[in-house]
Structures are given as structure tokens and as C-alpha cells.
Amino acid sequence: MKYISTRGQAPELTFEEAMLTGLARDGGLYLPAEIPVMSHDEIAALAGLPYEEIAFRVMWPYVSGSFTEQEFKDIVARAYEGFGHDARAPIKQLNENHFLLELFHGPTLAFKDFAMQLIGQLFQVALKRRNDRVTIVGATSGDTGSAAIEAFRGLDAVDVFILYPHGRVSEVQRRQMTTPADSNVHALAVDGDFDDCQAALKDMFNDFDFRDGVKLAGVNSINFARVLAQIVYYFSAAVSVGAPHRKVSFTVPTGNFGDIFAGYLAKRMGLPIDRLVVATNQNDILHRCLSGEGYFKGDTIPSISPSMDIQVSSNFERALYYAYGEDGSAVAQLMDELKSGGFNVSQGAMEALRESFDSGRVSEDETLETIKHTLAHSAGLVCPHSAIGIKVGEDHRTADVPMITLATAHPAKFPAAVEKASGEHPPLPSRMSDLYERPERVTRIANDLGALEDHIKGHIAE
């Protein structure tokens, strides 16, 4: 399988090259040149299989030129062995025809572990074979950073630096980033907000001397390998409620559009998905866009669902690429217009987006109300992001198509909001109950590209 850039001007790469690079050199995002399709019978045969086996069958066509079958089977097995639930992604019923897909049983309690644990193993195998090493730098509003540190800590072919906004992540998120003792992981508390961290990261990628000098690699959701890993649970969940013999819909709490874009690829692969519903908080650029108001940046307003406090949704570029008929130069032009505030989506592209996507927006009060209501009526405590999904999923649920809402984090990762809504304190799972006793290790650093690059150069292993 070859990988191409959404902006049409970067070289075609193999899966392994696209994964090790992250961002394309034309500023675009990598996608497979063709989307593989699974037949009705192949999908039906997934029902009841272990998660790892489904993962292997769904992802294999995307990676086959870069790994042997046995290598990839071993990678998948190692990726998910540390999960705290045998089903990996268990599903539970919320209401008539409404199900909750629990994606928070990984080591850092958010769905990002599904992709990051896999990517850690993929990097390690690929780099060993090349006898090479890379420097991973990531920007995080909390969950990506902890998942990346957990996935790469102790691997000898990588150094990991995570930039997070000082004082703006939850205590659990911070401790998950600052307590691992491995010498190849480095938490950097930047004096700035998440957008500053993301901008600094982009600047490092555009500084080609630095980029090539430290062999910079990115693991934010612009990396296609992350999207790939997330396709799997759409299949495992859908077959468990009757696909491919019936249609299913999904509601996805969305920030950077990575998770729901994986659902779009699952649909294009042949999974009979009826609707893909984007659920946003008050930072609703995606909801406004899908409602026909164009894609225009606003100011990010901090919310109780901080992992979705995003105004520029990087993976939406991938959806636009298909909506615009795989026209890379059209996408490049839109992204240029975005620099000066935003753009209107053409009528044809809007129709293409509406064939797959719906959307809803949830206020802070509605989020708290949904946490409370969910505890009282069915499914126990849920995190604020998951609550946003549940509210939008209820609004879009129909009598004939099962709705599956993605629960993206464990409630204990956001204890303040959960306790405020429900009056109950969500306990950490016992396997990490000593998190508050472990010593922390972090470097506070100015929001300054030179300072960040110097720090990174000075701390990579030779």
C-alpha cells in the first residue's frame, strides 16, 4: 500500500515511512492511496473473535508491505496485553437501541491508548530493523501526552518529549506524564496554552535543519498509524450488535476529528455504518461547519471536557480531501484560506460530508446534567467527554438502527467535573491507585522555539 498526501505535493511513501514521518513535507496529511474493502462475509466472520484477531484482519491490508504477518501479529499482541479488560473495548447497553463503547481500559485511561500502544510497538520494530532512532515530540492537552509517554517509555530506539500547557491539565493527566521514571521520556511544562504547544510543534517540523538533525517524528493524530488503530473498534463494536446483517450508527465526542475519521474509513471499508455523528462541546467549529456555516476559527473557551477544546481540527483535512473528490490542490487552497480565519465549503463537498456525518453541540450545563442522569438511570459514572457523546447520541438515536456512543475516557481522569455533576468521587482503578505517591519529574520551559529546540537537542541519547 502506498500513502499519499492530502495536498498532493509530497512524495508517495510506504506505511512505515508515513508512520515514521508523521506530517507530509507539503504540510498535508498522509492517507492510503486506496481504501481496502472487506466483503460482507469477511466482516460477518469477525463476530466473536478476540479483539487482537479483529485488529489483525482489519489493519493487515494497510501495513502488509512494511511488516511480516508474524511481526504484525506479535506487535498487536504486545500493544493490547496491558489493558485492564479482556475484551479491550467492551460494550454496554445504555438505553433501548443505545450502546456505550468503553475505550478507557488502557494504561492511561483514555481511548488514545488504543493507537498509542500500537504505534509504540510499530516504531520499535521498524527502528530496530533500520538500526535507527528518532526523537518524538508531541503537544498535548493532556491525554495524548500521557498515552505517548506510557507507550514509548523504556523503548531504546526513541526519545520522547511532551509539551503540555503549564497549569492547564488535570492533576491525574499531569501525574501520568511526570511520574514515569524511564530516562527516555521528558515532560515539558510550557508557559502557554495548548495552541501555543501545537504551534511550537508545527514550527519544529517546519525547521528542516532541526527536523532532520534530531530525526523528528510526530505521534499526534496527524500520524496515519493512529487513525488506523482506531478503525478496529468500529468493526468489533458493530459486529457485536449485529453488523453486517444490520446497519449501525456511531456518535463520537470529537476534537481533532481523528477518532471519527477512523469511523469514516471503516464505513468506506464496507462496514454498514448509517450515520457518524460528531459531538462537540462549546468549541463547536465542526458542528457549525456541518450545519452549513463554513469552517471559521473562533476563540477556544476552556471547558470541563478539555480534550475537545480545539478550534482547528487537524484531521478534518482528511475528510475534506474525500469530500472534494481527492483534489489535493483544492485542499491546499482551503488550508491557505484557513490561515486567515476560515473558508466556506463548496455545495458539492457539503453534500458529500452530509452523506456520512451529522453533528450536535452540548453546553456545559447539559454535560453535567447528562453525567448525573446517566448515573441515575443506567451506566454508572461517565467522563464529561463521554457524556457529551451520550447526549448527542440520545438526540440522534432512531428506532431501527442501533446507536453506539464512544466513551473516550475513564471518569477518574476528570474527577472534579464528575464529582461536581454527580456528588460522587470516581476512584482510580486499583492498578494505578498509587499515582499520587509517585515522585514527579518535569521541566518548566518558556514558550520559545529556540529554548525548546535547545532543550531537546541537549537531552536526546546518542
Ligand X SMILES: *Cc1c(COP(=O)(O)O)cnc(C)c1O
Q: Would you state the cell numbers that stand for residue 47, as one nine-digit string?
A: 463476530
Residue (372 or 385) nearer to ligand X, CB: 385
Binding marks (x or -) toward ligand X, 173..212, rule CB under 6 A?
Answer: ----------------------------------------
- Minimum CB separation from ligand X for residue 29, in Å? 13
Q: Is 112 in the active site?
A: yes
- Minimum CB separation from ligand X for residue 258, in Å? 3
**Catalytic residue of the set 2, 73, 92, 112:** 112
Member of 176, 184, 307, 359 binding ligand X (CB under 6 A) = 307
The amino acid at residue 105 is: H
- Minimum CB separation from ligand X for residue 141, in Å? 8
**In terms of C-beta density within 10 A (0-12 exposed, 13-18 middle, 19 or more buried), how is residue 398 classed?**
exposed
Binding marks (x or -) toward ligand X, 115..154, rule CB under 6 A?
Answer: ----------------------------x-----------
Binding marks (x or -) toward ligand X, 351..370, rule CB under 6 A?
Answer: --------------------
DSSP assignment letter at 444: E
Binding marks (x or -) toward ligand X, 397..426, rule CB under 6 A?
Answer: -----------xx-----------------
Residue (148 or 189) nearer to ligand X, CB: 148
Q: Which of residues 228-287 bind ligand X (CB under 6 A)?
A: 253-259
- Measuring CA to CA, how many Å separate 69 from each of 56, 59, 99, 120? 9, 11, 33, 18
- Minimum CB separation from ligand X for residue 295, in Å? 15
Q: Would you state the cell numbers that stand for residue 37, as one nine-digit string?
A: 474493502
Q: Is the peptide bond before 244 cis (omega within 30 degrees of 0)?
A: yes
- Minimum CB separation from ligand X for residue 303, in Å? 11
- Minimum CB separation from ligand X for residue 317, in Å? 13
Cα–Cα–Cα angle for 354, 358, 362, rounded to 5 degrees: 150
- Minimum CB separation from ligand X for residue 133, in Å? 27
Please list, in sequence order, all residues whose beta carbon lies within 8 angstroms of the beta carbon of residue 439, skipping any fewer than 6 positions away: 179, 181
For the residues of 317-385, what is the DSSP string, one character each? HHHHHHHTTS-HHHHHHHHHHHHTTEEPPPHHHHHHHHHHEEEEE--HHHHHHHHHHHHHHTS----HH
Alpha helices, H only, 153-250: 171-178, 194-206, 208-213, 224-240
Q: Would you state the cell numbers that stand for residue 235, as one nine-digit string?
A: 468493526
DSSP assignment letter at 439: P
For the residues of 270-293, what is the DSSP string, one character each? T--EEEEEEEE-S--HHHHIIIII
Residue (7 or 385) nearer to ligand X, CB: 385
Member of 88, 98, 105, 112 binding ligand X (CB under 6 A) = 112
Residue (179 or 254) nearer to ligand X, CB: 254
Residue (100 or 110) nearer to ligand X, CB: 110
Q: Would you state the cell numbers that stand for residue 102, as one nine-digit string?
A: 468503553
324 CA to centre of own chain = 23
Residue (271 or 406) nearer to ligand X, CB: 406
Member of 29, 122, 137, 308 binding ligand X (CB under 6 A) = 308
Would you put residue 180 in left (φ > 0), alpha (ψ -120 to 50) or beta?
A: beta
Helix (H) or strand (E) run with residue 404 in it: strand 403-407
- Minimum CB separation from ligand X for residue 232, in Å? 15
Member of 94, 110, 118, 265 binding ligand X (CB under 6 A) = 110
Q: Would you state the cell numbers that stand for residue 412, as one nine-digit string?
A: 477518574
Residue (280 or 422) nearer to ligand X, CB: 280
Q: Is 303 in the site for ligand X (CB under 6 A)?
A: no
Residues found in the chain: 462
Residue (57 or 202) nearer to ligand X, CB: 202
Member of 221, 367, 370, 405 binding ligand X (CB under 6 A) = 221
* Total of chain residues touching ligand X, rule CB under 6 A: 16
* Active-site residue set: 112
Give contact residues for ligand X (rule: CB under 6 A): 110, 112, 143, 221, 253-259, 307-308, 385, 408-409
